[in-house]
Structure formats: C-alpha cells, structure tokens
Amino acid sequence: MTSKVLSIARDFSAFPAGRKREDGPFTGEKFREEVLVPILDQGGHITLDIDGVEGLPSSFLEEIFGGLVRAGFSLEQLRAAIDFKATEPDLVMYPDIAWRFASEAESLH
Amino acid sequence: MKTIIGFFVTPALVSLAISLWANAVLEARRARRDHITKLFEGARDDVRRGVEAGVECFSTKPADRTHLQEARVLSADREIRAAVSLLLGRVRSPGCDEATHKAREAFQSLVVELTGGNFQARRGVISREHITRLVHAGANMRTALARLRDAELKDGFDQDPILSWMVGKYEWAQKNWPFRSVP
C-alpha cells in the first residue's frame, strides 16, 4: 500500500477556495478529483498536512469530504485511508470539521 | 542588635511595606482580570463582525457577490480563528472544562457556517436556512465566550489564596460583627 504525505499549502495552494471547478483555480472539486480520488482508488494512504494554509473555507472542505462520500466512498474507508497533520492553533479544528462533513454526507447519502 | 533593627524598622515602615505589597498584589490581579475581559470582549466583537459580514455576503446571490463581501468574510474568519483558538488554548482552569467544551462546539459550528454553504460559489441561490444557521452559530459563540470568561474569572478567583483568605475574613467578620443590627 502506498503512503503519501501531502501538504495542501505547498503541493496545492495556500489559499484554497470554492467548491466547483468553475469557482476558481484551487477548488474542493479539483483537489478531490485530482489528488484524493486517484490515491483512494489505488487503495493508498494519505496524510494531509494542513499547516501553512491561510484557512480552509468550509465550502471547500465540504466539497472534498462530503463529495467523496457522495462519490461512493464510505466514511470508514476514508478514515482508514486519510490522516491529518495540523499543529497550528488556528487550524487544529479542521480535521474534526472534515470528518463532520463526511459523517453528515453519509447520513444523507 | 535588636535595638538597631527596632530603630530602623518602625511600625510605620512595616505598615507601609505591607500596604505596598498588598497594593501590588491586588493591582496584578486587577490587571489580569482586565486583560482576560479585554481578550474575551475582543473575540466577541470579532464574532459579531464576522456574522454581520457573513449575513451580508450570503444575502446576496452568489453570481452578484463582490470580492469585497467575500474578503470581509475571509478576514473575519481569520480573526475569529486566531482570537478564539488563543482563548481556548489559554483557558486551562479545571473549573472551566464544561464551558470550554461548549465554546469548542460553538466555535466549530461557527467556522462551518461562516465560510460554508455556497461561499465562493459562482452559482446557486440565497439560502435563508444557511443565514439563520449562521446567525444562531454566532449568537451561540458569543454566549459561550461570555460564559467561558465568567468561568475563567470565577475559577481564578476561587484558586487565588490571597483573595480566598480575604473573602474568608470578610465572611467571618460578617458573622461575628458585634454591632450588627438585630432583626
């Protein structure tokens, strides 16, 4: 199983924003489809390092994690495949929020 | 030797030293209380500004939103995260556990609503439900911060040995005051 550490700020953008591709250059849909789905499809594991971003708008985060559940990945599968690294005090709440979005999406799915 | 000490250390001098020490201690405690109050009030103001910016932004159709509206929300989001995470990380008094837990929950809900929904989307409609959730999340956060501030100040007061001693003496004096009026 491949394991990868990905810094959102360094490898994607320090200013992620928006849901759909039409909303901007660094959106949740783009991150989900181009970064996460290929790894998850191969059964790999990824650690998302969120330190360094200026913020993760909830619409961006919901599009990633709610979107993964809506695309057919289960919450259990996501929890096994994705870890977070967040040490900056104003970013440490984002992993919980991400799992909250995935959980809410699963309860609606 | 005793005479020499007694010559310099007069009762007035002892009284002055005790008075200066007590004043310094009380002043330090007053400064701490004012500092805590200012931090919490600043965070509560940030929350209010954030909710106002969010309501203005989400009351506009996504296609018609301006960069200024979105920038105000992002700025508020950043300020709220910085201020509240500072406070939640700072408050460690055991008596504040429940208030801290509630403030954390309220904080998470506010962060979810402030930049959630169709924020930064180019298409979509105005969601009154989302605006309502945002307003309530902001109100809950402001309430949680006020409660946390009170818990922090009360806990600091309860754990302060000097203030506790003074309160104990005051209560003792109230009970044993010889000239109190008889009901």
Confidence of residue B177 (pLDDT cuts 50, 70, 90): low
B17 close to A (CB below 8 A): no
Between CA B105 and CA A5 the distance in angstroms is: 29
A100 close to B (CB below 8 A): yes
Residue A47, φ and ψ in degrees, nearest 5: -105, 120
Question: What pLDDT is stored for residue B92 in this prediction?
Answer: 65
- pTM, rounded to two decimals: 0.82
A55/B121 touch (CB, cutoff 8 Å), yes or no: no
B77/A17 touch (CB, cutoff 8 Å), yes or no: no
Question: What pLDDT is stored for residue B181 in this prediction?
Answer: 53
Predicted-complex ipTM score: 0.89
H helices within A13-93, ranges in order?
A: 28-31, 37-41, 58-70, 75-81
A97/B77 touch (CB, cutoff 8 Å), yes or no: no
Tell me what the mean pLDDT of segment B31-48 comes to: 93
Task: Nearest chain A residue to B83 by CA: give it.
Answer: A90
Instruction: Round to the nearest angstrom and report the end-to-end CA distance of chain B.
Output: 55
Confidence of residue B157 (pLDDT cuts 50, 70, 90): low
Q: Tell me the pLDDT tens digit for each residue of B100-136.
A: 889 999 999 999 999 999 999 999 999 999 999 999 9
A24 contacts in chain B (CB < 8 Å):
120
Confidence of residue B15 (pLDDT cuts 50, 70, 90): confident
Which residue in A18, A20, A55 is closest to B77 by CB distance? A55
A19/B118 touch (CB, cutoff 8 Å), yes or no: yes
Contact by Cβ (8 Å): A100, B108: yes
Contact by Cβ (8 Å): A78, A68: yes
Q: Tell me the pLDDT tens digit for each residue of B59-108.
A: 999 999 999 999 999 999 999 999 999 898 876 666 678 888 899 999 99
- A71 by DSSP, 3-state: which? coil
B108/A22 touch (CB, cutoff 8 Å), yes or no: no
Which residue in B86, B111, B121 is closest to A97 by CB distance? B111
B115/A96 touch (CB, cutoff 8 Å), yes or no: no
Confidence of residue B12 (pLDDT cuts 50, 70, 90): confident
Q: Tell me the pLDDT tens digit for each residue of B88-101.
A: 887 666 667 888 88
Is the pLDDT at A93 greater than 60? The verdict is: yes
Task: Nearest chain A residue to B77 by CA: give it.
Answer: A55
Confidence of residue A3 (pLDDT cuts 50, 70, 90): confident
| CB atoms closer than 10 angstroms to residue B10 | 10
A58/B122 touch (CB, cutoff 8 Å), yes or no: no
Question: What pLDDT is stored for residue B81 in this prediction?
Answer: 95
Mutation site for B-interface testing, chosen from A30, A90, A99, A100 by largest number of B Cβ within 10 Å: A90
Question: What pLDDT is stored for residue A109 in this prediction?
Answer: 72
